[in-house]
Amino acid sequence: MTRPRSELVSTEVTPYYHCISRCVRRAYLYGIDSHTGQDFRHRKQWIQERLLQLQAVFTVNLCAYAIMDNHYHLVIHIDTKTAHQLSEQEVALRWH
């Protein structure tokens, strides 16, 4: 049974989280696909750039990351202090 995020994430307990995401159906995120021989190494730069963009929009700090062939790991810090200090205008500007 799934649980709501409000039960999984508690910044009072810890603001640091290890997040993992993987590709399905043997899809390759990065590297050379051993089944098709396709080279996906160019995607690593895309992923790194996207992580920096997301860090600028959300009030999280990327502490560490690892991009593997079919999955990635992120260690993030949720910056609640900054989040609470943002004005409504600053929040809107981050999204545009």
Of residues 95 and 43, more confidently modeled: 43
Indicate the pLDDT class of residue 79, thresholds 50, 70 and 90. very high
Please write the tens of the pLDDT for every residue from 1-16.
788 877 888 888 999 9
What is the Cα–Cα distance from 23 to 72, expressed in whole angstroms? 9
What is the Cα–Cα distance from 94 to 96, expressed in whole angstroms? 6
Note if the pTM is more than 0.85. no
All structural domains of the chain with their residue ranges: 5-95
Could you tell me if 11 and 82 are in contact, meaning their C-beta atoms sit under 8 angstroms apart?
Answer: no
What is the Cα–Cα distance from 11 to 77, expressed in whole angstroms? 9
**In terms of C-beta density within 10 A (0-12 exposed, 13-18 middle, 19 or more buried), how is residue 20 classed?**
exposed
Note the pLDDT of residue 63. Answer: 97
Could you tell me if 15 and 61 are in contact, meaning their C-beta atoms sit under 8 angstroms apart?
Answer: no
Mean pLDDT of 20-25: 89
The single-letter code of the amino acid at 9 is: V
Please write the tens of the pLDDT for every residue from 25-73.
878 888 888 888 889 889 999 999 999 999 989 999 999 999 998 899 9
Could you tell me if 24 and 39 are in contact, meaning their C-beta atoms sit under 8 angstroms apart?
Answer: no
